[in-house]
Chain A
Amino acid sequence: MYARDIMSPRFHILSPANSIAEAVKMFHIASVEEQKRIFGLMVIDEKDQLVGMLSMYDIILFIQPKHIHVWSEIEDLEAQAIFGELLDRVKSVRVSDIMTTSVVTVKPQTHVMAIADLMIKRHIRRLPVVDGKNVVGVVYISDLFYHLLEKFL
């Protein structure tokens, strides 16, 4: 059993030039259309090449204030309102500015056990499947999970 057998051939992508607001909308659309929570999206440039990944973690890391530990000590804080103002300041930031550029990928012929090993050792929840220079699918940890544990269903 290989990556090509368990990957999702349908996937949503982001452009490096997308704004953070556009990325958030795409996360929502992808989750609705795939009927499962999508926590990370591939970033593909105009040449159809994979240039990065953007996860919800990347976005939260970026929008959180640098000195969040000071926030946690201020009891009389209208956090929601202040956070709203912070979001206004990320308007000029694009996906390419905060995406993860070192992306681990697998080939269609990568064995599922090798995929499991990668996901566990590198704490990865999704792996783009790349054939040559083109992305042909993505293996989510849930795909792998239900494939390996099908017997219990």
Chain B
Amino acid sequence: MPVVSTRDILKGLLVEEAMRRQVIQLSHDVSLDKCINQLIKFKVNALLITDETRCPVGAVSKTDIVGAFYGGLPIAESLSMDIMNGPLITCFPDDELGVALDLMRRNGVHQLFVQGAEPCAMVGTLSYSDVVALLYRYCRACPKGAVRRSELTDCSDQTQLLIVRDAMSTSVISCRQEDSLARVIEGLTAHRLGAVLVQDAKGLPVGVISKTDIILAYHHGSSLEVEARSIFKAPVASCDENSLLSDAIRHMFLKDVQRLFAYAGDPSRIVGVLSLSDAAHIRSGSCRACITSRIIAAP
């Protein structure tokens, strides 16, 4: 009886092909003020925290900073060591991407640190968006992908292309403009989300609040009682649920956003949300050819 194994579109791709080689690190005794400055400045999800010997001891993520805000920690006096998480979740440059993605999903993190030969040396980071960016570049080069399809003489067959609905999450959490930041944070935390949709009194989408917006509010000295309307970003970055997944991914990269809200026909009717992590989980940039390559195969 053959041993059944699965093939994966990520098979053969290594972490080092997708990872970013810049690691933003801070000492364990710097203030949260400085942590936020570095998270915003370098647009990263998490910072590497080191001890006095410059050895990594943990990480501070945007989620940790949001927790500190909610917990009322004073931003200038509280230190990175007060909120950091450890031990670090790491992978190696020569790990397979699929293994690294599974590690991220199992641990519920958006970023892994890539460990070098020495235990204390972190040589890079890997996030969902890095994986999607790599796959998108492969898709652009693939003659069967959505990007090149327009160049084919027979482009009538659209059935193989993935659309946003195939990858999006239909669970959309929203809040009202007048809701307090405390309530917004509670919603984000309860559903383990990165952003929440803001609606007006008629239930129409008017903006989005992400964790980045919340940590900026914390940095600017806002209180937890300020209303969502004071910090949300508008307009809502959105796309039709029937749009091609490759178009949506391109849209996210060009707009530099982590997620798109999906609507059904009418932009005011939000029915789902597509994040870069959703796109990474489906492990394809554009078409089912990649998905079906995960066929059952006998070695």
Contacts and interface: CB of A to CB of B under 8 A. Distances in A.
Contact of A67 (B133, B140, B219, B231): B133
A101 interface: yes
Interface in A65-88: 65-67, 69-71, 73-74, 77, 82, 85-86
Contacts of A89: 233, 256
B129 A67 contact: yes
A70 B233 CA distance: 24
B129 A98 contact: no
A98 B40 contact: yes
B133 A70 contact: yes
Nearest to B147: A74
B289 to A, nearest CB: 20
B133 A92 contact: no
A48 interface: no
A42 interface: no
A65 B219 contact: no
Interface string A90-108: 0011101111010000000
Taking residues whose C-beta sits less than 8 angstroms from the other chain, chain B's interface range is: 20 to 34
Contacts of A98: 37, 40-41
Interface string A9-49: 00000000000000000000000000000000000000000
Nearest to A75: B140
A76 to B, nearest CB: 10
Contacts of A86: 255-256
A41 to B, nearest CB: 16
A99 B37 contact: yes
Contact of A97 (B137, B219, B233): B219
A58 interface: yes
Interface string B129-167: 100010011001000000000000000000000000000
A100 to B, nearest CB: 8
A146 interface: no
Contact of B137 (A73, A92, A96): A73
A66 B253 CA distance: 8
B40 A93 contact: yes
A15 to B, nearest CB: 13
Given A71-B254, A82-B254, A98-B37, 16 more contacts: A65-B253, A66-B256, A73-B137, A74-B254, A77-B254, A82-B255, A85-B255, A92-B213, A92-B233, A93-B40, A93-B216, A96-B37, A96-B219, A97-B219, A98-B41, A101-B34
